[in-house]
Amino acid sequence: MIVPNKSIKIFFNRVIGPLLFIVLSYSIYLQLLQQPDLHRSLQHIKEAIYGSQAWKCWLAVALMFFNWLIEAGKWKLLLRPLEAVSLKHALKSVLGGLAIGINTPNRIGEYSGRALYVSEGKRMRSVSLAVVCSFSQLLVTLFFGSLGLLFIEQDVAGWYGAAQAGMCAITLLCACLYFRLGWIVSAAQKIKLPEKWSQHFVILHTVSVTILLRVLSLSALRYLVFLCQYILLLEVMHVHAGWWNAFWLISVLYLILAFVPTMALLELGIRGKAGILLFQTFSANTVGIYAASTGIWLVNLVLPALAGGLLAIRHKFFNIKQ
């Protein structure tokens, strides 16, 4: 493994953070310019902030902090076998990972982004743990999305029943994989990956079922926060579908987003279109539906990513001591 010398480490420590923030800010700016009906959506959001139900809008924003604190708690738990970190450091790692991953397909860069906040020499192993953290959230999304397909009433062709059965099967398979991480290690050994790669999977053996259950519980709690935020913004935007219907429709929406290959910064258009398709049975307020999607996108992805970019400016990614 090539170890950068001191001067190179100093250079990267001073360049990575500011460069990341500049690229991230410019990317967000470009994507905002390309969004259809963005002006109307932002105007809708602005009016909601000062309207009679503004408290719901501010509550959705406040839940953003709770959302990412839960994710930091999950990351702190999973890192424990590798190194002990504070909740504050775990939060910086999570937001920094988001800032790096938001411009990558399905936020895959988030794994390596989090690893940059782990001690040198342990970063590759932490990537495996980051995947487990993300997988726990995906499992919850699959579970609630599959239930959503069962609960919502759709007048569609016969393939809908096949989709329901297929999603239930996929959810069960993913649950088995989640609680049997050792299978992944065994698979890596059987296909004879290079030692320098397979050794990074071994840490999965150290993650106990107790930790996996706690992480999964936190993922479920975080998912409920997502849903509450979305429902609150829908009500503020005068999209009236009822809490019960909205709960399951949003669950299906997140299920769709989990399977669509895209980047978080390009996701807004897909969110809006999918939201309109799902909610059109209950509301003709397409501007309100799109505005709620825009609000969630800004609150849960853009603002935390910008925060992660700002924190990265002061973070030392490499230890310059020789």
Furthest C-alpha separation in the chain:
67
Residue 2 pLDDT:
46
Residue 3 pLDDT:
45
pLDDT exceeds 70 at position 216: yes
Alpha helices in 179-284 (DSSP H): 182-190, 195-198, 209-236, 243-259, 267-279
pLDDT exceeds 50 at position 322: no
Residue 5 pLDDT:
54
**Residue 273's pLDDT band (cuts 50, 70, 90):** confident
Q: Angle of helix 54-79 relative to helix 38-49, nearest 10 degrees?
A: 100
Give the DSSP letter of residue 265: G
Mean pLDDT across 252-257? 91
pLDDT exceeds 60 at position 261: yes
pLDDT digits (tens, 9 = 90+) for 80-126: 888 889 999 999 999 988 888 887 777 888 888 888 888 877 888 88
pLDDT exceeds 90 at position 143: yes
Residue 68 pLDDT:
94
**Mean per-residue pLDDT over the chain, rounded:** 80
Query: pTM for this one?
Result: 0.83
Tokens representing 133 are 């953290």
Measured CA to CA in angstroms, residue 322 lies from 129, 231, 270, 316 at distances of: 28, 53, 48, 15
Mean pLDDT across 148-164? 69
Q: Return the higher-pLDDT residue of 162 and 251.
A: 251
pLDDT exceeds 80 at position 200: no
Q: Return the higher-pLDDT residue of 120 and 131.
A: 131
Domain boundaries, the chain: 6-314
Mean pLDDT across 181-196? 65
Smallest CA-to-CA distance from 292 within 275, 305, 270 is with: 275
Q: How many CB atoms lie within 10 A of CB 259?
A: 12
pLDDT exceeds 90 at position 172: yes
d(CA 11, CA 16): 8
Q: pLDDT exceeding 90 applies to what percent of the chain?
A: 28
Lowest-confidence region among 31-35, 123-127, 172-176, 268-272: 31-35
Burial class of residue 196 (count of CB atoms within 10 Å of its CB; 0-12, 13-18, 19+) = exposed
**Residue 134's pLDDT band (cuts 50, 70, 90):** very high
Cβ-proximal residues to 144 (8 Å cutoff; 6+ apart), any chain? 223, 251, 254, 255
pLDDT exceeds 60 at position 158: no
